[in-house]
Amino acid sequence: MIQALGVIASCAAAAGGAGLAVAGNALFDFALNPRAKHSIMARINDGEVTGVDAAAMGSDPALADARRWFEQSKRDISIRPHDGGELHGWRIWGPGVIPGDDGRRDGASPDTAHRYLILCHGYSGQPSDLAREARAAHGMGCSVLLPAARGFERNRDRYVGMGWLDARDLLGWIEALVSFDPQARIGLFGVSMGAAEVMMASGAELPDNVRCIVADCGYTSVWDEFVVQMNDLMHLPIHPLLDAAEAVCRVRAGYGFKEASAVKRLARARVPMLFIHGTDDVFVPFRMLDEVFGACASPIKEKAVFEGAGHGACSYADPVRYRNLVLDFLTRYL
């Protein structure tokens, strides 16, 4: 398929506007349409392709155990997004949290911490990829909510939002938790595209219930990330092909790659934030860590570097340090 895109790009240069429209649609379908026959998303959803961190994930026996816990414990939760329909995720209430008959938290719940963590997965993933992190947070008394991003798992009827559309959906998930428990203290956690999502949400009008954010290997903007992928993975020309794909995305999915910027949103961030990145990340370059950290306007911000860790693999490169780092941050601010 990548070779086919290269041919399309060459033809587009010769054919002008009509050719660019074809090329733009082809690239959009390849990257962002889970219903397209020849797309990365279709191959992921069919199990033909695993995440870029598959090797690291496969080397950790704790993940398999955590996934069993997740599958046994999870319950459905859904919201109705601004553009209609329904989006699905999974939730596991924390110890001592009792739901009432009205669907809200029962006032007799023995839990007094009111801690909730929303965990957002990456482009090549699914909610269960974060089962270890969810289990660790649950172990410290948190209720956990793991939404499936647009284009993934039970939400594959949508185009992929690359964190931008998902950041708006995230406000709906936050609202659902606040409706369940008005005293909720909410943390946001994301990896890769999920990290971009929580960073893009950081500058939105968040309720006071949101207390902190953890972003692991998130990209600066959708445009910047696609430039990296087209240069290093696909070896395709950025101009005019990516411009054409962005124009198609505006029409079909309702957003542009340049406007989908974590950097711009971080300029309005106010809650404590922790940024994590591995030095050997080739999918979201390590240099982006300093860009997003520098853009963050929060008065409380921290960053952690994991030497030798690849994309989404910091928690596998040094599991003990990663767990202690994140749980300590959550303990202090959530």
pLDDT (tens digit, 9 = 90+) per residue, 164-187? 999 999 999 999 999 999 999 999
List domains and CATH numbers for the chain.
Answer: 1-49+222-255 (no CATH), 53-221+260-333 (3.40.50.1820)
pLDDT (tens digit, 9 = 90+) per residue, 21-61? 888 999 999 999 998 887 776 666 566 655 455 555 656 78
Q: Which one-letter DSSP state was computed for residue 126?
A: -
pLDDT (tens digit, 9 = 90+) per residue, 65-98? 999 999 999 999 999 999 999 999 999 999 999 9
Tokens of residue 234, six digits: 């696909």
pTM of the model: 0.93
pLDDT (tens digit, 9 = 90+) per residue, 271-329? 999 999 999 999 999 999 999 999 999 999 999 999 999 999 999 999 999 999 999 99
Place of tokens 């949290």: 97
Cβ neighbours of residue 106 under 8 Å, at least 6 residues apart? Answer: 98, 99, 100
- Torsional class of 103: left (φ above 0), alpha (ψ -120 to 50), beta (otherwise): left
CA-closest candidate to residue 268, choices 240, 244, 298, 245: 298
pLDDT (tens digit, 9 = 90+) per residue, 188-203? 999 999 999 999 999 9
pLDDT at residue 11, rounded to an integer: 46
